Structure 1
Amino acid sequence: MKIRRAEKKDCQRMMELVLELATFERAPQEVTVSQQHFEDSGFGENPVWWAFVAEDNEKIVALALYYIRYSTWKGQRMYLEDIIVTEAYRGQGIGKILFERLVQEAKEKNFSGMMWQALEWNAPAFDFYKKFGARFDHEWVNCSIDF
């Protein structure tokens, strides 16, 4: 298994994994970003996300995508948007390797921490994050507006 930084040429496969995750999360219709917008947002003039991919025999089987979140209390923090491992490769430790790579990246960039979300019904995700000593905040409620 090879872990490397994502490149623009990876975006099509990365979007396939995003759709796979959305299907797993029972919301494939919620993926409305275009391929072009996805690519421009990661590899355009002003990228807003960065990612690592895991390859097996030169095929991308997993990704970890993050962006920088700013906290007025804590400063710059890594926001883990998604770790996605294609179904056939789950349970082999790839998510752990990607998560550890993200922690390393956050420390190298002097971020004050890392944040992410997990769906309340996704028990395997909660079990996974507990292994890293993650804290779960039951006080704050996620809010959003779609345009």
Structure 2
Amino acid sequence: MTDSAILVRRAQEADCERMMELVRELALYERAPHEVTVTLDHFRQSGFGPHPVWWAFVAEENGVIQGFALYYIRYSTWKGQRMYLEDIIVTEAARGRGMGAMLMNALIQEAKNKQFTGIVWQVLEWNEPAFNFYRKFNAKFDPEWVNAVLDVNE
């Protein structure tokens, strides 16, 4: 069910502080609050500075941002330009009102408009609610690939 008071729109620089609050909420949910090390200034500059590296949509309910979806462009030598969905977040208190689906539909439309070849993302293996959400969009899950990370500033 969706509510007419819910608006999905492109993120603006003024939204960054609220978006970071939601990032911290997600980190608590994912049992890793200590992993959020990005500063608000870096976050803001990365999305709205002279060379943005991410773009986002926000979901507002009655003027308050209750969720967002942030993506960047990934290049596949096999598939070409793809949208990489870094995070889709709806605050716990606002879940179940259709905001996640509205954000996902905005991403799908954006990917089509920009002629990306697809959307890719990661899901924590224990996050069954997320798997169930993405299944509604006929997402395919790839059990063959293992994530690798190399931190260079530690």
Q: Could you state the TM-score of these two structures normalised by the residue count of structure 1?
A: 0.99
Amino acid at match of 2:26: L
Among candidates 82, 87, 90, match of residue 87 of structure 2: 82
CA displacement 1:21-58 (0-9 Å, x = unmatched):
00000000000001100000000000000000011111
Q: Equivalent residue of 2:15, what SS?
A: helix
Matching of residues 92-103 of structure 1 within 5 Å: 92-103=97-108
Partner residue, 2:74:
69
Among candidates 115, 120, 125, match of residue 125 of structure 2: 120
RMSD of aligned C-alpha atoms? Answer: 0.5
Q: Could you state the TM-score of these two structures normalised by the residue count of structure 2?
A: 0.94
What residue ranges of structure 2 are gaps of 5+ in the alignment? 1-5
**Sequence identity percentage:** 67
Among candidates 55, 59, 62, match of residue 54 of structure 1: 59
How far apart, CA to CA, are the structure 2 residues paired with 1:86 and 1:28? Answer: 15
Partner residue, 2:24:
19
How far apart, CA to CA, are the structure 1 residues paired with 2:55 and 2:148? Answer: 24
What residue ranges of structure 1 are gaps of 5+ in the alignment? none
How far apart, CA to CA, are the structure 1 residues paired with 2:115 and 2:150? Answer: 31
